[in-house]
Amino acid sequence: MKRVVIVDDHTIFLNMISSYIRANSDYEVVTTFNSGNKFLKSCIGQDKKFDCVILDLSMDDGNGYTVLEELKKSNPHIKIIIMTFNKVPRVLDNLLKNGADGIINKSAVENEIVEGLKKVEENERFLCSITSSIINRTRNLVNELNEVQALTKREREVLTLICEDELTNAQIASKLFISEKTVKTHRNNIYTKLQVNSTIQLVRVAMDLGYVV
């Protein structure tokens, strides 16, 4: 029997998941926490008495990102399933890149929780149907863009400097040793390919499509 810890600062949700797992699987819920910080403190200097953590992403006292990072750093073999209402593609992708073994949207059907536990126990990554649909749709869109109107290497460089470094056209020109007129041309091409009309739209689309983090 595999041992599970649940960490969520919403008591009703915490109790609901715990009760469902106990009633519908042979997994043992060894304990629960309503704070990410309290959970991390309980792990200091202690032998891990659990195999999997079901972890809320957004908590006031110790957010899920911190817990995921710290726990994976100290014991990479422990499986972590993130529970979240978040549907932003870049957020979900970053969770996977940072070591999450599974992601379940809090609007998912209950049986996907047990299915997720089984999959990660078998060392498989698990995405609930909602999360899987979001990530696959985004990746398909990126592939489509790359096939039809891919950004060139230089356009990607300009895009990164616009979105991540927030540089002006003149600053980008100086950094890349090209003319400001050339930067404007690249910028116009990027806007056309990503179908945006403003810098705000550009940053949002670029992050959602995974061009920048």
What single string gives the DSSP state of each residue in 95-122?
HHHTT-SEEEETTS-THHHHHHHHHHHT
Q: How confident is the model at residue 45 (pLDDT cuts 50, 70, 90)?
A: low
| Sheet strand arrangement including 102-105 | 28-33, 3-7, 52-56, 79-84, 102-105, 126-127
For domain 147-208, give the CATH number: 1.10.10.10
User: Is the pLDDT reported for residue 151 higher than 60?
Assistant: yes
pLDDT of the residue at 143? 60
State which CATH number among 3.40.50.300, 3.30.70.100, 3.40.50.2300, 3.40.718.10 fits the domain covering 3-134. 3.40.50.2300
pLDDT of the residue at 20? 95
Q: Is the pTM of this model over 0.85?
A: no
Q: What are the extents of the domains in the chain? A: 3-134, 147-208
Buried b (16+ CB within 10 A) or exposed e, 129-138: ebbeebbeeb
**8-12, 23-27, 87-91, range with the lowest pLDDT:** 87-91
Report, as an integer, the average pLDDT of 99-119.
Answer: 94
pLDDT of the residue at 212? 74
**Mean pLDDT for the chain overall:** 88
pLDDT of the residue at 80? 96
Name the percent of the chain lying above pLDDT 70: 91
Q: How confident is the model at residue 154 (pLDDT cuts 50, 70, 90)?
A: very high
Tokens of 119: 């999959």
